[in-house]
Amino acid sequence: MKIYLEGGNKRGEFVYKLTDKKAISQSGNKTIMILNYTRRDPKRIKEEMILFSKYFLKLGAKKVYVASNFNKNELHAKLKESGLIYLPGGDTKLLMRNLKEKGLVSLLKNSFEKVIIGNSAGAIVLCNEGFFFERERTKKLDGIGLAKISIYVHYTNQNRSDLKILSKDRKIYPIPERKTLIIENGKIKSN
């Protein structure tokens, strides 16, 4: 399993083209499942999923599945078929709740032969825990522990003192926007 943890980006930006293209090339069958469970607004969900589908096809994907298009059984089958699983940014709590409700947590944890990308909220969900800065303070959310680390997404120098305090009893990997941590065979490298 190879896990890409992307630090995040501004809405509508596609800043991980080289990293995402590399992940697609490593995915074997170049079939992608987008787990689009981070938004509530149906119009925005539809817009983003059209954009993501076009984006990944342009980067070399052969097929792109969008999770909201399937019932639970179809979703599980398509996820198992996919070589790459993408968890986008957005509402981390909503993403976590949807993954649990749809029975996807154990499937993700058993996706040994897959490439998995998490961007911002998606990255937090994949780790033991994740931190982010919102409304003038740092917040923490627990993830599913697929990556056995703690991360801080959208990290900036402004968050340095928070990171120092939080890191007293654990190692936290800061991931600024436009940066990626890659985990493969238990080894971590940044990109």
* Amino acid identity for residue 101 in this structure: E
2-190 CATH fold: Rossmann fold (3.40.50)
Is residue 152 classed exposed, middle or buried when 0-12, 13-18 and 19+ CB atoms within 10 A define those classes?
buried
Could you tell me if 19 and 6 are in contact, meaning their C-beta atoms sit under 8 angstroms apart?
yes
**In angstroms, rounded to a whole number, what is the distance separating the alpha carbons of residues 154 and 24?**
23
pTM of the entire structure? Answer: 0.95
| pLDDT, one tens digit for every residue, the chain (191 residues) | 899 999 998 877 788 999 999 999 999 999 999 999 999 888 988 888 899 999 999 999 999 999 987 899 999 999 999 999 999 999 999 999 999 999 999 999 988 889 999 999 999 999 999 999 888 889 999 999 999 999 999 999 988 999 999 999 999 999 999 999 999 988 999 88
Greatest pairwise CA separation for the chain in angstroms: 46
Q: At what angle do helices 42-58 and 17-25 cross, to 10 degrees?
A: 70
